[in-house]
Homo-oligomer: A and B are copies of this chain.
């Protein structure tokens, strides 16, 4: 895994070039390497040993308090000690100004080691990042500062029991907290009432406080709540009340735990149902939980989704690393487990010793498929992370292009690993046989943990609508055209390379098919008809993107000196082109011809 990370970062994405930019000028290959070394080591030593226990010792309630697996505290502290919480932040604010792409690569080791335990600091860091981007100086100091100082963790409170995919239907309400509500040093002060569902890390005692970031509907200057998402604002709601420097006053805020969700996997991250302002912990002066507005009224979804691309890369990377963990576990198993004999010309010879299962072609197929899925997904996530850096630090034109590419690739970065690295986890179980179906081996947990990723942070179906409804058509198709141009660049470079020409030709055909399906899907169509096959369309789109990345990675791999590393990348690329890319026809065809089998179905026929 580490040689692959190094190859992707340094040889393929050439991240050293980033150090020529002002923001990253203090860095060099050696600082990147040392961050990777540290994270790899801490993940292996401090996180990995606790992954199973975080599943078995599921969080529970005792006298109204949440009891977490003990390892949640030790891993959170170990993570805080690495300094990675602020790695991408400004040096002025105590950060390292590390490129996002290196930061994500380094954090990937924690996802692989114990994804559910990594959830606590990871969500807190995302929360603090949002405040650093959009909070007032006082909000940054009081709330992000508490998180960076290890005194608080954070949450993102979006969903409600009746509003998951449909955020415009949230019912949590925020009202100004009295006449002087605008004068609070921590920001305009509101009172919130409502219920939030699926809140990861929503209640625990790992830290002294918890900083909830809460979406709620608030009235505008005219006292009216705008309909739909325009009515949504963003609030900071601390579990314990704080003074203007973020120090706890000792009083509770009116945030009450209603209960825990008991999940299929990812159990180590406690998942909660929270009531805001139900009156269990009344705060004098009014009814409701106290919250401080971030940005302006009505900006809630915009602010929250400002970080959406990065958060979706994070989910995709988590899915990728669960896949990778299963791949490596099953590879190790396959190299040691003897079972059966390959079929020779005269059948099988029982007098021979059993073969190790890695010697069976079908097992190698399952291993190579996992490698193609997981290393391909890792390339995708790191490519997107590099785009985030470019969007923020490259020259204006390159930055604009990076932003556009990021828009169109984000639904793939979120959805593709969620689907295919889950499939990788299933193959890892299959290689283990009956043992893989037991809880004595790690692979069944990876499979359960990974099933979450097609659901949260925008379901598969939501990603597909985002892609086909908005992204491929944004700015009159400019993002799509830009992506196609990048794909063609790779094809052009690969034409001249022996052994990659067939792949280049296959990708050329696949790209044409994708572009045609995109046009046909929308031709003279109502949105509901065009979008009826958005998910198969996204599956086809995703496989074309992955084929492109594999070809691009293969081009870079040709220069690797290590024979096995190089041949491994080329074999995985070959697997992807031979076994996976041809699947796109079935998916794209229904989108291209706007198959209405499902659209027109009378539900009474089901």
Contact = CB atoms under 8 A, between A and B. Distances in A.
Contacts of A460: 430
Given A434-B159, A571-B605, A605-B567, A597 B585 contact: no
A469 interface: yes
Interface string A437-457: 111100010011001101110
A598 B344 contact: no
B455 A598 contact: no
B586 A598 contact: no
B606 A578 contact: no
Contacts of A360: 461
Interface stretch (A17-25, A313-321, A523-531): A523-531
Contacts of A263: 437-439
A123 to B, nearest CB: 16
A438 B262 contact: yes
Interface stretch (A5-13, A160-168, A244-252): A160-168
A38 interface: no
A165 B435 CA distance: 12
Given A438-B264, A451-B426, A365 B465 contact: no
Contacts of A61: none
A180 interface: no
Given A162-B338, A597-B368, A430 B448 contact: no
Contacts of A606: 331, 358, 364, 367-368, 371, 568
A interface secondary structure, majority: helix
Interface stretch (A85-93, A207-215, A298-306, A532-540): A532-540
Contacts of A595: 578-579
A589 B583 CA distance: 11
A341 interface: yes
Interface residues of A, number: 102
A575 interface: yes
A113 to B, nearest CB: 21
B264 A335 contact: no
A561 interface: no
A356 to B, nearest CB: 9
A510 B436 CA distance: 35
B469 A343 contact: yes
Interface string A406-446: 00000000000000000000100110011011111000100
B589 A582 contact: yes
Given A433-B165, A437-B264, A575-B598, A526 B345 contact: yes
Contacts of A464: 362
Contact of A586 (B459, B528, B534, B582): B582
Interface string A344-358: 110110110010001
Interface in A551-602: 564, 567-568, 571, 574-575, 578-580, 582-583, 585-586, 589-590, 595, 597-599, 601-602
A321 B433 CA distance: 22
A166 B437 contact: no
A198 B434 contact: yes
A535 B444 CA distance: 22
A535 B164 contact: no
A35 to B, nearest CB: 27
Interface in A320-347: 331, 335, 338-345, 347
Contacts of A575: 597-598
A343 B527 contact: yes
B436 A455 contact: yes
B228 A350 contact: yes
A401 interface: no
Contacts of A564: 602, 604-605
B465 A437 contact: no
A359 B344 CA distance: 55
Given A166-B354, A585-B586, 19 more contacts: A166-B339, A169-B350, A263-B437, A264-B437, A264-B444, A342-B528, A360-B461, A361-B598, A362-B465, A365-B532, A371-B606, A430-B459, A436-B455, A536-B579, A564-B602, A571-B597, A571-B605, A578-B595, A583-B583
28 contacts: A165-B340, A165-B433, A228-B351, A229-B350, A262-B438, A263-B438, A264-B439, A264-B444, A343-B469, A343-B528, A345-B526, A345-B527, A361-B533, A362-B532, A368-B598, A429-B455, A430-B455, A430-B460, A433-B459, A437-B455, A447-B451, A536-B579, A564-B605, A567-B602, A571-B597, A574-B597, A579-B595, A583-B586
Q: Which 9 A-B pairs have the closest CB atoms?
A: A228-B350, A568-B605, A582-B586, A365-B598, A361-B532, A166-B340, A264-B444, A343-B527, A362-B461
